[in-house]
Amino acid sequence: MSRVLITLVATLMLSLSVLVNAQNVSREEIRGLDEQIQDVKKDVISLTSELNRLEEKLLFPSNTQVALFVSLPNSQEFSLESVEVKLNNQVVAHHLYTYREIEALQQGGVQRIHTANVQTGAHPLEVTYFGKSKSGKEYRATATHSVEKAVGPKFVEIQVAGNQSAINFKDW
Partner 1 sequence: MLPRLACAIAGVTLSALTSLHSVSVQANVPVDPGALHAGDLNDLFFGEALFNAYQDNHVDAIAALDTELKQHRLLDDPELDPFSVHFGQAEFAVGDLELSYRMHREAGRAMEQVLQGNVAQPIKNEAAYRLAKIHYQKQQFANALHALELIQGRVPERVRPQEQFLRARVYMQLGRFEEAVALLEDLRGEKSLQGFVEYNLGIALLKAGETEKGVLVLDGLGRKAGSGNAKQALQDKTNLLLGNQLMKAEEYDRARSYFDRVQLSGPFSDQALLGAGWVEANAGRYDRALVPWQMLKERRSTDAAVHEAMLAVPYAYGKLDVHSTAAVNYGQALDLFGEQVDVLSHSITSIREGKLLEALRRKEASQVKNWVVELRKLPGAPETHYLLGLMASNDYQEFLRNYQDLNNLFERNQDWLQSLDAFEEIIALRRSYYEPILPGLDVAFRQVDARIKMRLEQRQRLAARIDNLLVNRRPELLAKSDETEARLILEQVREILAYNPNLTSEETEDRIARLEGVLKFRLSREFDDRLTTAYKNLQELDGVIATLQETYQRYVRTRQAATHSYEGYTDQITSLRGGLNRAQDRIDQLMAQQGRMLEQLAVHELDQRRAQLESYQIKARFALADSYDRANELQEQREDERKVEAYQRQVEQLQNAQPQSSEPAVNPDGEALPTDNPPELEAPESDSGEGGNDA
- Which residues contribute to the site for partner 1 (CB under 8 A)? 1-2, 4-9, 11-13, 15-16, 18-19, 22-23, 26, 29-30, 33-38, 40-55, 58-59, 61, 63-64, 67, 69, 71, 100-101, 103-105, 107-112, 120, 151, 155, 157, 172
Give alpha helix (H) positions in 77-116: 99-106
- Could you tell me the smallest distance in angstroms from the CB atom of residue 165 to partner 1? 23
**Pairing between strand 78-87 and 90-96?**
antiparallel
Following DSSP, what letter does each residue of 150-167 receive, concatenated?
Answer: -SS-EEEEEEEEGGGTEE
Cβ distance to partner 1 smaller for residue 112 or 137: 112
- Could you tell me the smallest distance in angstroms from the CB atom of residue 135 to partner 1? 22
Other CB atoms within 10 A of residue 93 CB: 16
Cβ distance to partner 1 smaller for residue 69 or 130: 69
Cβ distance to partner 1 smaller for residue 52 or 137: 52
Cβ distance to partner 1 smaller for residue 63 or 138: 63
- Do the beta carbons of residue 159 and residue 170 sit within 8 Å? yes
Cβ distance to partner 1 smaller for residue 34 or 148: 34
* Residue 73 CB burial class (10 angstroms; 0-12, 13-18, ≥19): middle
Strand partners of residue 121: 149
- Could you tell me the smallest distance in angstroms from the CB atom of residue 95 to partner 1? 13
- Could you tell me the smallest distance in angstroms from the CB atom of residue 44 to partner 1? 5
- Could you tell me the smallest distance in angstroms from the CB atom of residue 137 to partner 1? 25
CA proximity to 150, closest of 63, 75, 70, 25: 63
